[in-house]
């Protein structure tokens, strides 16, 4: 069985729940509620210190932890898109919802969504937008406390998952779920087991406490004169002037009345369920005829509830832990974009830095090795170049002729200016071509010699680039060699005439030689002789150098010997293909 943690961090307190078992039968094995001391100079540090001390003193493992943040920083919008695939929704979501979030720069918020309905290739979405700055602040608190949450969500989504696990969200009923926080109240409308609406009431249980924020414009207008009417608040709640508490209750109930009256549900609205901080008179009676209930079923046996006497103190934290176990009806994900992998990157910083250092060291050593190898190769090439120059040209100025008695003038000038040792240099320095390295210098010298050689061959009439006509004798030899391969294959033959003529190339055909033969084939019968010359014709056609075989007529031979006479057997031969042999 796997354990999962759920943690809610609010402005004034935190709740943490540890679940064990499975998502279908979770069991609360540990739970705690702690206070966050007010600190105007370093609120993040104060929250991290209080959270770290509580986790350490209770021995809680935070390996699989889901974090819940205050809903008052979130904005909820409804949106319809003409797509169904989640990947396509994610690719266009920010662009489509940007016009509905004028208070934010779309690049400064993280956007999550819940698909309410899919019909006719379109999706109805419930979109949650949270500023990245607030997410980073929550992550800094967790980092200061010594752990990294795997996922972040707002109170509304965690509340829905918690309520669904207790059986409150039935498929044939509709409910309104409420979580009363320190400075805001989160509200979710669930119809038939699906979330239909989320909103935030900017008034909480501590809105009028000395360290809380004013919840209304009227309250802020009263200013500091009202602080004398306030008494010290106790853990988890505010015990202020009864009139002020009643004003809070009336404000929350009035906003909930608006939610109830505006609700359009397919199923009957059966109840309003409260969790979080308690206020006298809030969970009493009904709202527009809808009964009010406390969201129960999350208390640990033997666990002492905070003095506030809250309704399901750990409901929201329970929902976050349940989500980490794979339960619930919503899969929120606010650790998107660069924040989604921030924790993983922090854990990889040291290994990545060490790996980069090792790669840099390896590249430096490899660079030095290649440099040394290059210098060695360059020295060998310099020796080859000097040796080649000394062998070919020598040192004419000092009376040392080379083997090339009459070197080309251009080559001699190039060698003199760009090769050899600089006179009087110490240590030895060598001339170098400014545009060629040592290897390119060797290639240039060789190509210069080859060019000069071809020029001399042209002057002597040995131009190998000029194509010679094909040999008629070679063509005749190819045909006769084929006939002589097997004396018995073609029977006994008698040549009356042999001739070979060269055919010059045309625009359609290349050079060729036509071999003409007047030949007689003798055998026991004319039919056998016909078979012999047909075999010869087929074998000639199979040769790569044979272009065409043809004869004008065949005459039978009757008399003392029998056979067939071919007065003009023509074989068209391409001598240039005589070296091509098919294996």
What is the residue extent of each domain of the chain?
Answer: 4-340, 351-459, 472-577
Q: Distance between CA atoms of 520 and 535, rounded to whole angstroms?
A: 14
Can you give the pLDDT at residue 216? 36
257: tokens are 């009345």
Residues 6+ apart with CB under 8 A from 376: none
The enclosing H or E element of 299 equals none
Would strands 290-294 and 394-395 be described as parallel, antiparallel, or unpaired?
Answer: unpaired
**d(C-alpha 330, C-alpha 155), whole Å:** 12
Q: What is the pLDDT along the chain (583 residues), one digit of tens a residue?
A: 478 999 999 988 899 999 988 888 888 888 888 888 888 788 899 999 999 999 999 888 888 999 999 999 999 999 999 988 888 888 888 888 999 999 889 889 999 999 988 888 889 999 999 999 999 999 999 999 999 998 899 999 999 999 998 888 888 999 999 999 989 999 999 999 899 999 999 998 888 765 544 443 333 333 333 333 333 333 334 445 678 888 889 999 999 999 999 988 999 999 999 998 888 888 888 999 999 998 887 655 444 444 444 556 788 999 999 999 888 888 888 875 544 434 445 557 788 899 999 999 999 999 999 999 988 998 888 888 888 888 888 877 777 777 887 788 888 888 878 887 776 676 777 777 888 888 888 888 888 888 888 888 888 877 666 677 899 999 999 999 988 886 678 888 899 999 999 998 888 888 899 999 999 999 888 888 899 889 999 999 999 999 999 988 888 988 888 899 999 999 999 998 887 443 3
For 478, residues 6+ apart whose C-beta sits below 8 A from its C-beta are 543, 545, 573, 575, 578
pLDDT at 417: 82
Q: Are 201 and 187 contacting, i.e. CB atoms less than 8 angstroms apart?
A: yes
User: Do residues 486 and 493 touch, judged by C-beta distance below 8 A?
Assistant: no
Contact status, residue 175 vs residue 52, Cβ threshold 8 Å:
no
Extract the tokens encoding 185: 């109240």
Is the Cβ–Cβ distance between 253 and 282 less than 8 Å? Answer: yes
Q: What is the pLDDT of residue 339?
A: 43
Question: What are the strands of the beta sheet with 109-119, ordered from one edge?
Answer: 75-81, 122-131, 109-119
Considering only CA atoms, give the Rg of the chain. Answer: 49
Strand partners, 556: 564
Provide the CB-side half-sphere exposure for 576 (13 A, CA). Answer: 9
Omega of the bond prior to 42 within 30 degrees of 0, cis?
A: no
Domain formed by 4-340, architecture: 2-Layer Sandwich (3.30)
Q: Are 69 and 135 in contact (CB under 8 A)?
A: yes
Structure tokens that stand for 554 in this block? 């065949």
Closest C-alpha among 215, 197, 154 to residue 179: 154
- pLDDT value at residue 166: 87
In sequence order, the 6+-apart residues with CB closer than 8 A to the CB of 251 are: 201, 203, 215, 216
What phi and psi values does residue 569 have, to the nearest 5 degrees? -95, 115
- Residue among 293, 37, 305, 278 nearest 181 (CA): 278
Place of tokens 């060789």: 446
Structure tokens at 262: 């505006």
DSSP assignment string, 543-582: STTEEEEEES--EEE-SSSEEEEEEEEEEEE-GGGTT---
Tokens of 356: 């980069």
Residue 484 has what pLDDT?
87
> What per-residue confidence (pLDDT) applies to 140?
92
Quote the pLDDT of residue 345: 53
């Amino acid at each position: 069985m796997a354990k999962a943690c759920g943690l809610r961090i609010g402005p004034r307190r935190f709740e943490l729940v540890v679940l064990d078992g499975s998502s279908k039968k979770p069991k609360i094995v540990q739970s705690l509620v702690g206070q966050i001391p007010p600190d105007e100079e370093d609120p993040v540090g104060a929250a991290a210190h209080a959270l770290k001390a509580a986790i350490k003193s209770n021995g809680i493992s935070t390996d699989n932890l889901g974090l819940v943040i205050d809903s008052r920083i979130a904005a909820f919008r409804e949106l319809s898109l003409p797509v169904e695939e989640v990947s396509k929704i994610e690719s266009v979501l920010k662009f489509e919802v940007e016009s509905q979030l004028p208070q934010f720069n779309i690049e400064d918020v993280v956007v999550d969504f819940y698909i309410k309905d899919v019909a006719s290739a379109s999706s109805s979405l419930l979109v949650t937008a949270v500023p990245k700055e607030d997410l980073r602040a929550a992550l800094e608190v967790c980092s200061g406390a010594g752990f990294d949450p795997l996922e972040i969500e707002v109170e509304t989504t965690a509340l829905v998952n918690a309520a669904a696990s207790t059986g409150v969200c039935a498929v044939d009923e509709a409910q309104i779920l409420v979580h009363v926080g320190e400075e805001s109240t989160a509200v979710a409308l669930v119809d038939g087991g699906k979330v239909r609406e989320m909103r935030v009431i900017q008034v909480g249980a501590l809105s009028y406490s000395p360290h809380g924020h004013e919840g209304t414009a009227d309250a802020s207008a009263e200013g500091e004169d009202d602080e004398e009417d306030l008494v010290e608040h106790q853990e988890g709640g505010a015990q202020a002037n009864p009139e002020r508490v009643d004003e809070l209750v009336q404000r929350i109930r009035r906003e909930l009345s608006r939610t109830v009256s505006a609700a359009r549900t397919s199923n009957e609205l059966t109840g309003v369920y409260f969790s979080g901080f308690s206020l006298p008179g809030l969970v009493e009676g009904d709202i527009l005829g809808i009964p009010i209930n406390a969201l129960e079923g999350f208390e640990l046996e033997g666990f002492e509830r905070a003095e506030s006497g809250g309704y399901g103190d750990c409901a929201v934290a329970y929902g976050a832990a349940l989500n980490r176990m794979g339960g619930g009806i919503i899969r929120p994900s606010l650790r998107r974009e660069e924040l989604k992998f921030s924790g993983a990157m922090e854990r990889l910083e040291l290994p990545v830095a060490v790996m980069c250092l090792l790669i840099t060291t390896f590249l430096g050593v490899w660079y030095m090795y290649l440099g040394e190898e290059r210098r060695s190769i360059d020295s060998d090439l310099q020796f080859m170049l000097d040796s080649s120059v000394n062998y070919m040209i020598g040192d004419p100025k000092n009376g040392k002729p080379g083997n090339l008695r009459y070197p080309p003038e251009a080559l001699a000038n190039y060698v003199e200016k760009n090769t050899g040792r600089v006179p009087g240099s110490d240590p030895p320095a060598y001339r170098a071509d400014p545009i060629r390295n040592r290897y390119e210098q060797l290639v240039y010298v060789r190509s210069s010699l080859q060019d000069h050689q071809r020029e001399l061959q042209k002057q002597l009439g040995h131009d190998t680039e000029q194509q010679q006509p094909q040999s008629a004798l070679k063509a005749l030899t190819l045909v006769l060699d084929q006939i002589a391969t097997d004396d018995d294959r073609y029977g006994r033959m008698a040549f009356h005439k042999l001739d070979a003529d060269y055919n010059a190339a045309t625009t359609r055909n290349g050079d060729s030689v036509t071999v003409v033969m007047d030949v007689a084939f003798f055998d026991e019968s004319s039919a056998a002789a016909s078979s012999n010359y047909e075999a010869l014709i087929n074998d000639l056609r199979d040769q790569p150098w044979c272009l065409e075989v043809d004869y004008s007529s065949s005459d039978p031979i009757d008399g003392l010997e029998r056979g067939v006479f071919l007065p003009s057997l023509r074989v068209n031969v391409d001598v240039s293909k005589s070296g091509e042999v098919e294996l």
